[in-house]
Amino acid sequence: MSALEIKNLKVSVEGKEILKGLNLTINQGEVHAIMGPNGTGKSTLAYTLMGHPGYTVTGGEIIFKGKNILDLEADERSRAGIFLAFQYPVSIPGVTVANFLRTAINSRRRAANPEDKGISIPDFRTMLKEKMALLKMDPAFAGRYLNDGFSGGEKKRAEILQMATLKPEIAILDETDSGLDIDALRIVSEGVNALNGPDLGVLVITHYQRLLNYIKPQFVHIMMNGIIVESGGPDLALRLEEMGYDWVREKYEEVA
Ligand code: ADP
Ligand code: MG
């Protein structure tokens, strides 16, 4: 079964149609990249998948594990197994990274079973240690306040650690406007590559071809004017790097 199926999705923001019938299927174990010029609706897609209330779905379906999830709130989607990495994560002074992650895990467990007592502290510590080792993170990081004074790269690390501990089935990473430096790019990419496996489907949204030098997607899609206009393999990203978007624009003059 496909993990995530987006069918003819139409989305409006403040009365203006931004997504105009977008189709995309992501299976677990697959890494997809969406690329496209600024303003084509890539972030709109990410926010809509997460269930942001400012984005009105006017048509189509989002099917996750066989169920239409359009009626689910953002937190319900998260507990169902969808993870969205925020472009601009909020800081929570007074709450450590470890506390935050334990709360998130427990909230998910309780949603699945109201009787659940939560993960024990020793089990949590063991798990966290494993994940941090996998991501080559300094254990001291877990004791810092979430995003409080974090550098761009550290915020990315916190995000990837969250992804590692929550074990989503679909992870969506919108990296479009965040001005990622090479260091942050590398962190995100190494994290995604370390977590990549048969249980995880990944959708990386990016304006920059260079991210794809680190994350190797099997599928590359080009988005323009609210729809996916071209899909292919990694060669498509290379073609964009060489030729830019003009050839796509020309090919799709009627939509661009
Ligand atoms: P991309 O991520 O591809 O650069 P966006 O999804 O951010 O594109 O934006 C697509 C279009 O939707 C743009 O014209 C943008 O101005 C508009 N838009 C997106 N989000 C909002 C919002 N919250 N309020 C108003 N307009 C928005
Ligand atoms: Mg964007």
In a domain, 126, yes or no: no
In a domain, 145, yes or no: no
Q: Which two tokens stand for residue 116?
A: 């659940």
Mutate to test the pocket of ligand 1, among 9, 10, 22, 44 (most ligand atoms within 8 A of CB): 44
In a domain, 96, yes or no: no
Domain that holds residue 39: 3-89+151-255
Phi, psi dihedrals of residue 173, rounded to the nearest 5°: -120, 110
In a domain, 110, yes or no: no
DSSP 117-175: ----HHHHHHHHHHHHHHTT--GGGGGSEETTT--HHHHHHHHHHHHHHH--SEEEEE-
Torsion-angle region of residue 124: left (phi > 0), alpha (psi -120 to 50) or beta? alpha
Nearest ligand 1 atom to alpha carbon 176: 2
CATH at 81 = 3.40.50.300
In a domain, 119, yes or no: no
In a domain, 47, yes or no: yes
In this structure, the residue with its CA closest to atom 5 of ligand 1 is 41
Q: Each residue's pLDDT tens digit in the chain (256 positions)? A: 568 999 999 999 999 999 999 999 999 999 999 999 889 999 999 999 989 889 999 999 999 999 999 999 888 898 889 998 765 566 778 889 999 999 989 988 888 899 999 999 999 999 999 999 988 889 999 999 988 888 877 888 888 899 899 889 999 988 755 556 777 778 778 888 888 889 899 999 987 777 777 888 999 999 999 999 999 998 998 888 888 888 888 888 765 5
Question: Does 42 contact ligand 1 (Cβ within 6 A)?
Answer: yes
In a domain, 115, yes or no: no
In a domain, 106, yes or no: no
**Within 13 A of 252's CA, how many CA atoms are on the CB side?**
16
pTM (predicted TM-score): 0.88
Residue that the structure tokens 């590692």 belong to:
164
Domains in the chain: how many in total? 1
